Amino acid sequence: MREIIFDTETTGFDPASGDRLVEIGCIELLNRVPTGRTFHAYYNPQRSMPAAAEAVHGLSDSFLRDKPLFSHGVEELLAFLEDSHLVAHNARFDFGFLNHELRLCGLPEVSMARMIDTVAIARQLHPGAKHSLDALCTRYGIDRSHRIKHGALLDAELLAQLYIELTGGRQIGLGLAQEEEKRVANMELAAEVAVRPVRPARVFAASAEELERHAAFVATLEKPLWLEEA
């Protein structure tokens, strides 16, 4: 099963009021195990960056000025997403901005049926607790010491670890690894059996000398049981 963990950074909270998506980071999972494939891009929002938003993610107008428009990189993004389920933290926010950008490009929106929200999962598992990404990373012992500011790819990497914990933990990857080890061991054993040399059949019949010695020994026995009358 292929899933994409993704996160976005934006100019604000509401695309309907003119806020735009400025960064997206994606992590590919197969059967809840990261494959190492990622997608990461910055986009020029064609508007100024509010100071409050810049304080969160550190993306300034000068940094984003020479970045491509979303419309110029959308095909590459969609090719990475394919038709996989998309996992995000407070996913309606990220889906809202992604679909807004797709609408501006005249492209179909991503179906909400593909959405998996880790906040909703966390609320079911830990009702009444804090469900921010930071709080959940602390709960599950996920190291975020290198996270100074928000960043789409960095947050997606943290979220990938959290999602694995929320949906079964490290046992998933451990179990797959153990199965792979067994499979490789069986293949090696089969290969060893296939190349094992054929040995000649062992001869178990007594030699003439052995038969002679046996007869001499039997002759020394007094009243052997097999000669007694029933």
Average pLDDT over every residue of 213-226: 78
- Is 23 marked within a binding site? no
Q: Residue 48 corresponds to which amino acid?
A: S
pTM, 2 dp = 0.72
Model pLDDT for residues 137-149, shown as the tens digit of each residue: 999 999 987 766 6
Nearest to 12 by CA among 42, 65, 54, 41: 54
Q: Does the annotation place 9 within a ligand binding site?
A: yes
Give the residue numbers annotated as catalytic, written as ranges.
150
Per-residue model confidence as pLDDT tens digits over 155-193: 999 999 999 999 987 654 455 555 556 655 665 565 555
Q: Nearest-CA neighbor of 88 among 120, 55, 49? A: 120
Question: pLDDT category, 209, cuts 50, 70, 90?
Answer: confident
Cβ atoms of 33 and 173 within 8 Å: the answer is yes
Q: Rounded distance, CA 154 to CA 7, Å?
A: 9
Check the annotation: does 7 bind a ligand.
yes
C-alpha–C-alpha distance, residues 142 and 162, integer Å:
7
- Which residues does residue 85 pair with via DSSP β-bridges, in sequence order? 3
pLDDT, one tens digit per residue, over 37-60 is 999 999 999 999 999 999 999 999
Q: Please answer whether residues 48 and 89 qualify as being in contact, where contact means their C-beta atoms are separated by less than 8 angstroms.
A: no
Tokens linked to 45: 């929002």
Q: Is it the case that residue 32 has pLDDT exceeding 80?
A: yes
- Annotated ligand binding at 228? The verdict is no
The residue ranges of every structural domain in the chain are: 2-167, 171-198
pLDDT at 150: 76
Measure the CA–CA gap between 26 and 31, rounded to whole angstroms: 16
User: Which class is 2-167 in CATH?
Assistant: alpha beta
pLDDT digits (tens, 9 = 90+) for 100-133: 999 999 999 999 999 999 999 999 999 999 999 9
List pLDDT tens digits, range 50-102: 999 999 999 999 999 999 999 999 999 999 999 999 999 999 999 999 999 99
